Structure 1
Amino acid sequence: MSTMASSSTGVSSSTDSETLRRNRILSSKLYFDVPLSKLPLIYSPSYNIQFLGIEKLHPFDSSKWGRICRFLIVDGVLDKNRIVEPPEATKDDLLVVHSESYLNSLKSSVNVSIIVEVPPVALLPNFLVQQKVLHPFRKQVGGSILAAKLAKERGWAINVGGGFHHCSGDKGGGFCVYADISLCIQYAFTRLNISRVMIIDLDAHQGNGHEKDFSRDRRVYILDIYNPGIYPLDYEARRYISQKVEVVSGTETEEYLTKLDEALKVAGRMFDPELVVYNAGTDILDGDPLGRLKISPDGITARDEKVFRFAHERNVPLLMLTSGGYMKSSARIIADSIVNLSKKGLIDTLGSTGKV
């Protein structure tokens, strides 16, 4: 009798939490109608993290997002008036995936400093950490969530930020404070009538955060191509990868692209997605101090083109997140890749106005 009672209580609490999650998603202000005069390219100056030079203590280029847009504007691919600015994710938005206890833990500057791997952040008053560090991340989360809606409507979307793939619902790490990939997928399930999502994670690091969040969710197929010898070395999360391709330190462009071609063929046979979430980290670049791979700038352009073509040929909407990349040259390389996607007709930067 007691076993049955506890079992029914478990089912009831699970149903209650699902109802609460659904209500939070439906009442969120992160989805809004974007006029056709705007491109499905999402960015805010608030993405960039700049505070007393502390951001320079981490190898990540925390102003790369703004530099990507500036390059695109100079290249004539982007009119700054056509960029979509996302709202900031609120606490209620974040609770769709994150636990209350995890969000409360971010009220400690020490905890945030550990997650972003910048020890002096621990010494700052938390209100400054919220304003100068966490606010930029919450804006990027808003961008990732909105990107799924725009991808469904326009066929593609690029959040010039996001891709915090080391963060799960109850744990951050590796410069990833919020689980934007898990969040944008949960919103897509509820708001976009989507039930099959493929994550293609091509950052050099294993995407252990979303792997844990979707460990038992058959609606999500994860293709992860990563270097197994570097952070996060999360062997539990590796068990949850639908299709893992390990590329060891020193892997060069030709071998990498061959493995990607093979992996995309397998993924296309194994799963029929209604949405592709592409985590396009540039830390695979030759010389990146953390990725330890040897992929050329042209190799990154070819990689992105292959993923966009994979989705395009299947008529599946794709959203791209820029994720990791720890060299100053990353911004230029991402901009060059977006220019190439436009030239190849895989994205339409002319939009409905017929002019850039």
Structure 2
Amino acid sequence: MSSEEPNLYFEIREDQWPLVYDDKYNVSFFGLERFHVFDSKKWGNVIRRLKESGLITEDHIVHPMEAQKDHLRVVHTKKYLNSLKWSSNVALIAEVPVIACLPNVWVQHSYLRPMRLQTGGSVLAGKLALDRGWAINVGGGFHHCSGDRGGGFCPYADITLLIKYLIMFKLIRNAMIVDLDAHQGNGYQRDFIDVAEVYIMDVYNRNIYPKDREAKRAIRRKVELGNKVEDLEYIRKVRRNLKEALAEFQPDILVYNAGTDILDADPLGHMNISEIGVVKRDEFIFEICKERHIPVVMLTSGGYLKKSARVIAESIMNLNRKGLIGRERNGKF
């Protein structure tokens, strides 16, 4: 890694929370973002609600650095990064065909730069979780991207990079990924096939994208669900399987991919989980990590309803009420 590139890790003030976000996370593409299923302002809407609730102020937030080429090369091939210089390739990943017609300099600034900033946020949040016991990147969770290919709105492999950074700097020996987005996390799974130090638990709808059989080889605890699964079955399976996973594997950090596309009526998840079901799901993950002294880093990942931002904000507020995050939760294990 070039010494000229800024380090994605840095110390934060004692009064700051390990809550990582920047206004530049939000995608603005001359209005074209309105034609995409993804709410390109979701991340900003989460923070706005947290501020309106009085839980945080601007001073609490940690602003990350943007992942640069040398950082990304820790995971990504040169060929893949070069492919992003062609707008047509980015259009396939973002699933916005009109992007193919735009100058790449616009694509880099309006879409890929926010994604690189969120990727830097995930890497920083991983380190902050070790320092404080927990961290949340209000963004990231690009679980369909691997070192040599993007897809499913995911241009950078932030989950793989988060873990590789921690191992590279000898901050951890192993990690567990708990992916509760509605979709199979095939990107990091391809990166960690046959990597014993990374335990993957993935709970997803087997009937939807990506149906990646090769990537499934990396999953150590696979929970495949059907369409329209509801709260009782979902929470029961998540609780049982995570407890069994932690009996098999003792991680130095738990990377929690907390997609809200499991919500009832989400156009891509096709599951029937209620808003309170999402809140209780997140509460359980943080609770079991606190009980077992496992640092946890949460990434917000997928979620394609306008109400997703409100549900994420309500979940974060609930975690604070339960004493699972906040000033009293800070402190290295």
Partner of 2:106: 128
Of 275, 286, 289 in structure 2, the residue corresponding to residue 297 of structure 1 is: 275
Q: Which runs of 5+ in 2 are unaligned?
A: none
Structure 1, residues 314-341: CA drift from partner, whole Å, max 9, x if none?
Answer: 1010000000000000000000000000
The alpha-carbon distance between structure 1 residues 26 and 109, as it changes in their structure 2 partners (threshold 3 A), is: closer
Find the aligned partners of 2:95 and 2:245 in 1 and give their Cα distance: 34
Quote how far apart the aligned CAs of 1:193 are.
2.3
Give unpaired runs (5+ residues) of structure 1.
Answer: 1-22
Change (3 A) 1:310 1:24: farther
Counterpart contact for 1:28–1:93, Cα < 8 Å: no
| Number of aligned residue pairs | 330
1:175 to 1:218, Cα distance in 2 relative to 1, 3 A: same
Contact 2:133-2:329 at 8 Å conserved across structures: no
- Classify 1:267/1:171 alpha carbon distance in 2 versus 1 (closer, same or farther; 3 Å): same
Shift of 1:27: 6.9
1:238 corresponds to: 216
Contact map agreement 2:257 2:300 (CA 8 A) in 1? yes
Question: Paired residue for 2:156?
Answer: 178
Q: Are the equivalent residues in 2 in contact too, given 1:229–1:249 (CA < 8 A)?
A: yes
Q: Does residue 282 of the first structure (1) align with residue 227 of the second (2)? A: no
8 A contact 2:6–2:65 mirrored in 1? no
Are the equivalent residues in 2 in contact too, given 1:148–1:319 (CA < 8 A)? yes
- Please tell me whether the aligned partners of residues 274 and 317 of structure 1 are also in contact (alpha carbons under 8 angstroms): yes
Give the superposition deviation at 1:141.
Answer: 0.4
Match of 1:201? 179
* Alpha-carbon displacement from aligned partner over 1:193-244 (angstroms, at most 9, x marks no partner): 2011000000000000010001021110000000010000101111210100
Aligned to 2:120: 142
Return 63-72 or 263-272, whichever deviates more: 263-272
Cα 1:77/1:185, change in 2 over 3 Å: same
Counterpart position of 1:96: 74
Using the TM superposition, name which of 262-271 and 173-182 deviates more.
262-271
Alpha-carbon separation, structure 2, partners of 1:90 and 1:174: 22
**CA separation of 1:264 and 1:48: change in aligned 2, threshold 3 A:** same
2:169 to 191, 210, 215: 191
Q: Deviations over 1:134-184 (max 9, x none)?
A: 000000000000001100000000000000000000000000000000000
In structure 2, C-alpha distance between the alignment counterparts of 1:309 and 1:38, rounded to whole Å:
22
2:272 corresponds to 1:316 = no
- Structure with more of its chain in helix, by fraction: 1
Give runs of aligned pairs for residues 55-74 of structure 1, distance below 5 A: 55-74=33-52
Per mean C-alpha deviation after superposition, the further-off stretch among 26-35 and 284-293 is: 26-35
Q: Secondary structure at the match of 1:337?
A: helix
Report the equivalent of 1:52.
30
Q: Aligned to 2:218, what secondary structure does the other structure show? A: coil
1:347 paired residue number = 325
In the aligned structure 2, how far is the partner of 1:77 from the partner of 1:194?
Answer: 31
Aligned match of 1:160:
138
Find the residue that maps to 2:89 and give its secondary structure: helix
Structure 1 stretches of 4+ with a deviation exceeding 3 A read: 23-28, 349-352
Cα deviation for residue 191 of structure 1 reads: 2.0
- Percent identity of the aligned residues? 54
Larger radius of gyration: 1
Does 2:310 correspond to 1:332? Answer: yes
Is the aligned partner of 1:85 residue 2:36?
A: no
Indicate the SS of the match to 1:306.
Answer: helix
- Note the 1:34-53 alignment, pairs <5 A: 34-53=12-31
Give yes or no for contact 1:149–1:192 (8 Å, CA) kept in 2: no
Q: Pick closer, same or farther for the CA change 1:152–1:227 going to 2, 3 Å.
A: same
Question: How far has the Cα of 1:72 moved from its partner?
Answer: 0.3
- The answer on 1:270 being equivalent to 2:248 is yes
TM-score when normalising by structure 1: 0.91
